[in-house]
């Protein structure tokens, strides 16, 4: 199940993507939350502008929906530079990357989403491009093959990843600045909801704004998506005005509980508790029992469940914590601690 469908399936995906793009802040001053990262980026970009040179390469790491793409666009805006957007899965051959790099202009921003999913040959080509701003083009085959160096304009690579641990060290080391994005506080999400509602022309009460902020899983993308669903409900049932009553009714309809857990989150937690007696259970076994991909659970459900203290990741597998049992209205077995072990083996069934 893709991130686009976690709250609701819609026939207006293209319209919503366009609308979501319009809600993105254009400058660091407009950007809400991530104060530490925003201040660090502001210093980096200001120094680059003062030197009249491209900014250093930037790696943005964190769970989906926290603003990595938005920050890449802000970097381009702050540097008054064009931006080229692509993704790791789209670059399966070194030639694909060489073609993109050779067409860049001086100072351009290359945003590479899901950089951890790029092929190994392309990664190795990127090392040289990031450090020396050149690539070696191989001409011919076999013993007669010749490497011709191709000089590149100075560009800024902005990489985004939800799995920074999968990046090889030589690639991570070539980034001049690495930003780890954190989940947002409820009050920050309320500010985002209020701003988005104003841009979308939605009449919404302060109580409804606060409720949406508290159920947005610490994620701006979720906050904006919930706002659109609440807007839809209000347009049909309340003349377009969103009060706390309309917000609560819409959130209940879309199966978003009081702290923001949705159907997938609850299914993961309930399966772990009820079918596997709280664990430990391997992530692939858990995914198979739910009928989802391992990556879907690891990237969409698990970060928030771990953050809320409902499950723990251990070398033996995933374990439900007493807090997880309590959230489901159940009593944890005697002796259950769900203690977090940092020596994690993410995809193991051990």
What is the tens place of the pLDDT at every residue in 31-79? Answer: 998 999 999 999 999 999 999 999 999 999 988 889 899 999 999 999 9
Do 47 and 67 lie in one domain? The reply is: yes
Query: Residue 166's pLDDT is what?
Result: 83
Which of the residues 194, 215, 217, 221 is marked catalytic?
A: 221
Q: Is residue 339 part of a domain?
A: no
Catalytic residue among 70, 156, 161, 162: 162
In a domain, 85, yes or no: yes
Where does the chain have alpha helices with state H?
Answer: 13-23, 35-51, 68-78, 94-102, 120-132, 169-172, 186-200, 206-214, 220-237, 244-253, 263-270, 283-290, 294-296, 302-307, 322-327
Are the beta carbons of 244 and 212 closer than 8 angstroms? Answer: no
Q: Give the long-range contacts of residues 318-321, CB within 8 A, separation 24 or more.
A: 318/272, 318/279, 318/280, 318/281, 318/282, 318/283, 318/286, 319/272, 319/278, 319/279, 319/280, 320/269, 320/272, 320/273, 320/278, 320/279
Q: Residue 85: what pLDDT? A: 92
Catalytic residue among 68, 117, 217, 229: 68
- Are residues 316 and 346 in contact, defined by beta-carbon separation less than 8 angstroms? no
Phi-psi region at 340: left, alpha or beta (left = phi > 0; alpha = psi -120 to 50): beta
Q: Out of 113, 225, 229, 262, pick the active-site residue.
A: 113
- The mean of the pLDDT values for the chain is 84
Is 68 a catalytic site residue? yes
Annotation says 69 is catalytic: yes
Here the tokens at position 7 are 């709250």
Nearest one of 18, 35, 314 to 185, comparing CA atoms? 35
Cα–Cα distance, 250 to 24 (Å, whole number): 24
The confidence score (pLDDT) of residue 207 equals: 93
For residue 198, the enclosing domain spans 186-253
Same domain for 170 and 191, yes or no, is no
Identify whether 289 is part of a domain: yes
Pair (95, 210) in one structural domain: no
Give Cα 113 distance to the centre of its chain. 10
Shared-domain flag, residues 145 and 232: no
Do residues 115 and 191 share a domain? no
CATH number of the structural domain spanning residue 299: 1.10.10.10
- The verdict on 191 and 292 lying in the same domain is no
Whether residue 151 is found in the same domain as residue 199: no
Pair 176, 192 in one domain: no
If asked whether residues 155 and 225 sit together in one domain, one would say no
User: 146 an active-site residue?
Assistant: no
The tally of domains found in the chain comes to 3
Tell me, yes or no, whether 3 lies in a domain: no
- Whether residue 346 is contained in a domain is answered as no
Instruction: Answer yes or no: 221 catalytic.
Output: yes
Tell me, yes or no, if 296 is annotated catalytic: no
48 and 133 assigned to the same domain? yes
Q: What is the pLDDT of residue 350?
A: 39
Catalytic residue among 6, 69, 117, 194: 69
Asked whether residue 21 is domain-assigned, the answer is no
| Regions of the chain short of the pLDDT cut 70 | 1-21, 137-147, 334-350
């Amino acid at each position: 199940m893709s991130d686009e469908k976690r709250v609701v399936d819609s026939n207006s995906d293209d319209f919503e993507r366009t609308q979501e793009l319009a809600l993105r802040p254009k400058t660091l001053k407009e950007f809400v939350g991530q104060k530490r990262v925003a201040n660090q980026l502001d210093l980096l970009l200001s120094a680059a502008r003062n030197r009249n040179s491209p900014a250093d390469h930037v790696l943005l790491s964190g769970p989906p929906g926290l603003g990595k793409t938005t920050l890449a666009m802000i970097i381009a805006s702050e540097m008054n530079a064009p931006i080229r957007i692509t993704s790791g899965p789209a670059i399966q051959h070194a030639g694909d990357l060489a073609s993109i790099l050779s067409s860049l202009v001086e100072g351009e921003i290359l945003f590479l989403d899901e950089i951890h999913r790029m092929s190994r040959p392309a990664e190795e080509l990127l090392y040289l491009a990031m450090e020396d701003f050149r690539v070696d083009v191989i001409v011919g085959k076999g013993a007669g093959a010749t490497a011709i160096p191709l000089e590149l304009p100075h560009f800024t690579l902005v990489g985004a990843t939800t799995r920074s641990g999968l990046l090889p060290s030589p690639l991570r080391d070539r980034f001049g600045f690495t930003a780890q994005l954190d989940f947002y506080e409820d009050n920050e999400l309320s500010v985002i909801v209020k701003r988005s509602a104003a841009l979308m022309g939605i009449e919404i009460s302060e109580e409804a704004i606060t409720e949406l902020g508290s159920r947005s899983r610490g994620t701006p993308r979720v906050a904006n998506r919930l706002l659109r669903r609440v807007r839809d409900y209000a347009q049909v049932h309340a003349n377009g005005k969103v009060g706390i009553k309309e917000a609560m009714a819409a959130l209940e309809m879309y199966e978003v509980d009081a702290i923001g857990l949705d159907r997938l989150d609850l299914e993961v937690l309930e399966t772990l508790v009820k079918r596997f007696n709280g664990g430990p259970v391997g992530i692939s076994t858990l995914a198979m029992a739910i009928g989802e991909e391992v990556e879907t659970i690891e990237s969409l459900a698990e970060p928030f469940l771990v953050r809320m203290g409902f499950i723990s990741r251990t070398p033996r597998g995933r374990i439900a914590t007493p807090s997880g049992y309590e959230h489901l209205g159940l009593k944890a077995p005697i002796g259950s601690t769900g203690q977090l072990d940092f020596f994690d083996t993410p995809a193991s069934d051990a």
